[in-house]
Amino acid sequence: MKGKSISNETISKRERDGEPNDSRTRKLWVSASAIGALLGALLALVLFPSAAFACHPTGQFGWNLIGFALSVGVPLAISQWLALHSILKYREAARSKLLILWIPVTSIGIAFMILPLWWTPAEIFFFAPWLAAIKMLPGMIFLGLTQWLLLYWLISASFVWVLLTIMGAAIGSTLGLFVALFLFPFALEPTWAFVTGGGIGVLQAIELISNLKADRSGQN
């Protein structure tokens, strides 16, 4: 009983100090990724309607494409940054000036993922949704690597973060296209962005929780 009491006191103290538990971290990170991507897609459709996948002819470059892609990336990046700041607030890392770099590197990474999709005829994705993941691979690698470099400095994150980011984006984008094309064709971009962001968040959360546990063990 005494050991259980000490354990409960330790957990309560950690919660009071702002240290997140695994369940809260998972929910917060997945929600931030999925909802941030959804809001970004909605914002992009409002600001750059001519760049919507259903409206823009493939194979033609326009600055509105960059604006559209960044409009998706920035809200997702800010949402993840806010979640990360909340998760890390029990650490000095939360007050690091480098943490703000999460927003530009994530925004650019998401934009790099989206831009190549405009150079592929849309009907191909209807028959081969997995092709989107291949087209997005350079952006996935950039996103995973740049985020990992920041996390490595903040909490000594492992390289597995990069692999899980790529896997989450690949699975999310493929599943998202299937769901968007066959279930919600009237909301193609928001549906695809929500599922893709959720896929990234789910797998990243696994590694984030693992790294936080290792980091806490190193501090004790």
- Structural domain boundaries, residue 84: 22-213
Question: Which structure tokens are listed for 132?
Answer: 């989107």
Residue 181 lies in a domain: yes
Residue 38 lies in a domain: yes
Each residue's pLDDT tens digit, 114-152: 998 888 777 777 778 888 899 999 999 999 999 999 999
Residue 219 lies in a domain: no
Residue 163 parent element (H or E): helix 160-182
Closest-CA residue to 27 (of 154, 214, 208): 208
Report the C-alpha gap between 124 and 111 in whole angstroms.
21
Report the C-alpha gap between 145 and 150 in whole angstroms.
9
Residue 130 lies in a domain: yes
pLDDT at 3: 45
On whether the CB atoms of residues 174 and 26 are closer than 8 A, the answer is no
DSSP 8-class letter at 19: P
Single pTM value for the model: 0.85
Residue 139 lies in a domain: yes
Could you give the number of structural domains in the chain?
Answer: 1
Q: Which of 4-13, 15-24, 123-132 has the highest mean pLDDT?
A: 123-132
Residue 16 lies in a domain: no
Residue 60 lies in a domain: yes
pLDDT at 218: 54
Report the C-alpha gap between 94 and 54 in whole angstroms.
41
On whether the CB atoms of residues 75 and 36 are closer than 8 A, the answer is yes
**Res 1 pLDDT > 50:** no
Looking up tokens 């999460």 gives 102
Share of the chain above pLDDT 70, in %: 82
**Res 153 pLDDT > 70:** yes
Residue 15 lies in a domain: no
